[in-house]
Chain A
Amino acid sequence: MEDTRRRILNYIERNCKVDEKELAVLLGIDEAVVKSEIGAMEQENIICGYHTMIDWDKAGVEKVNALIEVRVTPQRGRGFEKIAERIYNYPEVSSVSLISGAYDFLVTIEGKSLMEVSRFVSEKLSPIDEVVGTATHFILKKYKDHGTILAQKDKEERMLVIP
C-alpha cells in the first residue's frame, strides 16, 4: 500500500476524531490529498467504520461480554463461510473469527446479563446443525483494549523545566 494511505490509516486507527486539516499538518500531507484519500478508502471499504472506545464499567452501565469457542463440522457444499454468516447475522454477536487449532470460530458476544448471554448460546448458537460444541468464557475485567491501557494514567512525574 502506498505510503500516504498507510500513514493516514496508522494515525486515524488511534484517533478518528482528528479533523482533516489538522491531520494534514501532523502528517505533512496536503489537506486536499488527505480528504480525497480518506474518501476513497471509505468507498473501497478499507475504512470500514468509526467507533468509540468506551469503558462501560466506568460509565456505570452493566454489560456482559463473553468469548465463545465454537466447534463445527462444515458440510459438503457449505464451507465455513455459510456457518459464519448464520452466526454473525445475530446483532448480539460483536465479532466472529475463523481460528486455527483446537476449535473453529471465536465468537464474541455482548449482552446485558449472564442469563441473556447463556440463553443466546443455548437457544441460538448451539442448535445450529453444523455446531458440534461450544465453550463460553465470560470476561471478568478488561485491562487493555485496542492497544489502549484502560487503567488510570499516572500523573506527570518529570520536573517542569530541565535544560
Chain B
Amino acid sequence: MRNPLSRQITEIQPSGIRKFFDIVNEMKDAISLGVGEPDFDTPWRIREEGIYSLERGRTFYTSNAGLQELKDEICRYLQRKLGVTYDSRHETVVTVGGSEAIDIGFRAMLDPGDEVLIPQPSYVSYLPCAALAGGVPVVISLKNENEFKLTREELEAAITPKTKILVLPFPNNPTGAIMTREELEPVAEAVIEHDLYVMSDEIYSELTYKGEHTSIASLPGMRERTLVINGFSKGFAMTGWRLGYVCGPQIIIEQMLKIHQYAIMCAPTNSQYAAVEALRNCEDEVEKMREAYNQRRRYLVSEFARMGLECFEPYGAFYIFPGIREFGMPSEEFAEKLLEEEKVAVVPGTAFGECGEGFLRISYAYSLEDLKTALRRFERFIEKLRKEKQ
C-alpha cells in the first residue's frame, strides 16, 4: 500500500511532552497545577445568551467573517482597550479560537522559506503552524534575567534577509511575562527598520496585574504591520466555546478570510451571539475574575519567595514560572518525580521550548484552597530534594 501521509506532516515532531501529559491525564487522584484554562465557569449572563440564541433557533451559519453585530463590538472593544481603530467589515475575522487565527495568519503570509521568529518559552502551536504553512520557524530563546521579555538586541540577532514575521506572545504563556509600552517601543523600531510583520497573540490581554495591557499595534507605524489575535477563552472564561478573532490590515485579512471561508466556513453561531454579550456587559465579571487571579498570584509569589525558589514576579496571564536549576535535574524529570511522589502535576518548562529547561509552569487557575494543598506537597518535595543533596 502507498504511504498515506504527507512528508511535511510526518516531519513535524509530536510534542515531546505528550508522553508526560498522557501519564498525568490517566492519573485519577493527582492534584493539578497544570491547566491552561480558567477555573471559572463562563459568566452566567454569557451562557444565558448562548442558551437564548439556541431557543430562538439561531442555528444557521453566519457570514464567513462572523456576525456583523459581533465584529462591531470587537472593534469597539479594541478601540476602547488598545486605542487602535479597525474597520469591522474589512479588517476583522471571527475565528474558531485564537488558534485558528494563528494558523490562517501564517498561511496567508508565508511563502516557502520565509522565516518566522518565535520567542520561546511560548505556546506550543506557533512552531508547527508556521512550518505547516511552509515557513521556517526560527526560535529566539528568551532569558530569565530579562524576565523572559523580548529585547531589541535578541530580535536583531535573529533577523536574516528571509525573516518575515515576528510572533509576539505577550502576556506570555508559560512565563506570565508582560511587555510594557516602553519595552515594546525598541522592538517596534527594529520591526519597522527591518520591514517585518508582527503576529501579536494577545489572548491573555484581559489578565494583566500591573497597568493596562499595551498592544504593539498601538505604537506609531505598527498598525499596518500587525495582526492582533485575541479571543474569549481566557479573559471571559470561554475556552470550550472556541471563539477568537483577528484584526489587521485589510490586505492580509482579505486573504485570511479566504482560507477561513474554505476551511472553516464560520465560527460557531451560538458562541458568537454569546460573545456579543461578553463584550457589551461583562466588564465587572471580568474584573472579579482578574482580582481573584491577582490574589492567587500574590500568594504564589510570596510562597515561592519563602521557599527560596528563584522566581521573577509575573504580571500577566495565570502562570508563574519558578526556576528549579538548584536541584540539578531536568524539568521533565522533576515534574515526573513530583507527580510520582506527591501526586502534583505541573508542566515542565521544556514543553514550551528548550530554553524552558530548568523551569516549571505553574498555573493559578485554581481555587486558593487547591493551591494551598498543592503547595504544601510541593514544599515537602523540594525540602526532601534539598536534604538529599546535602
A26 to B124, CA, bound (A): 31
Q: Which of B25-33, B49-57, B151-159, B221-229 interfaces with chain A? A: B25-33
Q: Which residues of A contact B15 (CB under 8 A)?
A: 163
Chain B CB within 8 A of A58 CB? no
Q: For B302, what are the chain A residues with a Cβ–Cβ distance below 8 Å?
A: 25
Q: In the complex, which of the residues B24, B34, B123, B351 has the most CB atoms of chain A within 10 Å of its own CB atom?
A: B34
Query: In whole angstroms, how far apart are the Cα atoms of A74 and B320 in the complex?
Result: 62
Q: How many A-B residue pairs have CB under 8 A?
A: 50
Task: Find the residue from A25, A160, A162 having the highest chain B CB count within 10 A.
Answer: A160
Does B89 sit within 8 A of A, measured CB to CB? Answer: no
Question: Which chain B residues (2-31) contact chain A, with CB distance < 8 Å?
Answer: 15, 17, 20-21, 24-25, 27, 30
Neighbour of A163 across the interface among B27, B299, B345, B351, CB < 8 A: B351
* A26 and B27 contact, Cβ closer than 8 Å, known pairs A160-B34, A160-B345: no
Chain B nearest CB from A5 CB (Å) reads 16
Known: A25-B299, A26-B298, A27-B298. A160 touches B351 (CB 8 A): no
Interface size on B, residues (CB 8 A): 28
A159 beta carbon closer than 8 Å to chain B: yes
> When chains A and B are docked, how far (Å) is the Cα of A26 from the Cα of B27?
31
A161 near B345: Cβ-Cβ < 8 Å: yes
Q: Is the CB of B124 within 8 A of A158?
A: no
* Distance of A95 from chain B, by nearest CB (Å): 26
- Given A26-B295, A26-B299, A27-B298, residue A161 in contact with residue B27 (CB < 8 A): no
Q: What is the bound-complex CA distance between A122 and B277, given in angstroms?
A: 49
Within 8 A of A (CB), among B118-138: 123-124
Chain A: number of interface residues, binned into ranges? 10 to 19
Question: Is B36 an interface residue, CB under 8 A from the partner?
Answer: yes
Query: Please, which residues of chain B bring their CB within 8 A of the CB of A160?
Result: 24-25, 27, 30, 32, 34-35, 345
A28, CB-defined interface residue at 8 Å: yes
Q: Which B residues between 282 and 318 are near A, CB-CB below 8 angstroms?
A: 294-296, 298-299, 302
Complex contacts, B123 vs chain A, CB 8 Å: 163
Query: Does chain A have a CB within 8 A of B189?
Result: no
Whether B37 is near chain A, meaning CB under 8 Å from some CB there, is yes
13 contacts between A and B (CB under 8 A): A25-B299, A25-B302, A26-B295, A27-B298, A158-B35, A160-B25, A160-B27, A160-B345, A161-B21, A161-B24, A162-B34, A163-B347, A163-B351
Interchain residue pairs A-B with the least CB separation, the first 9: A161-B34, A26-B295, A160-B32, A162-B36, A25-B302, A163-B124, A160-B24, A161-B24, A161-B21
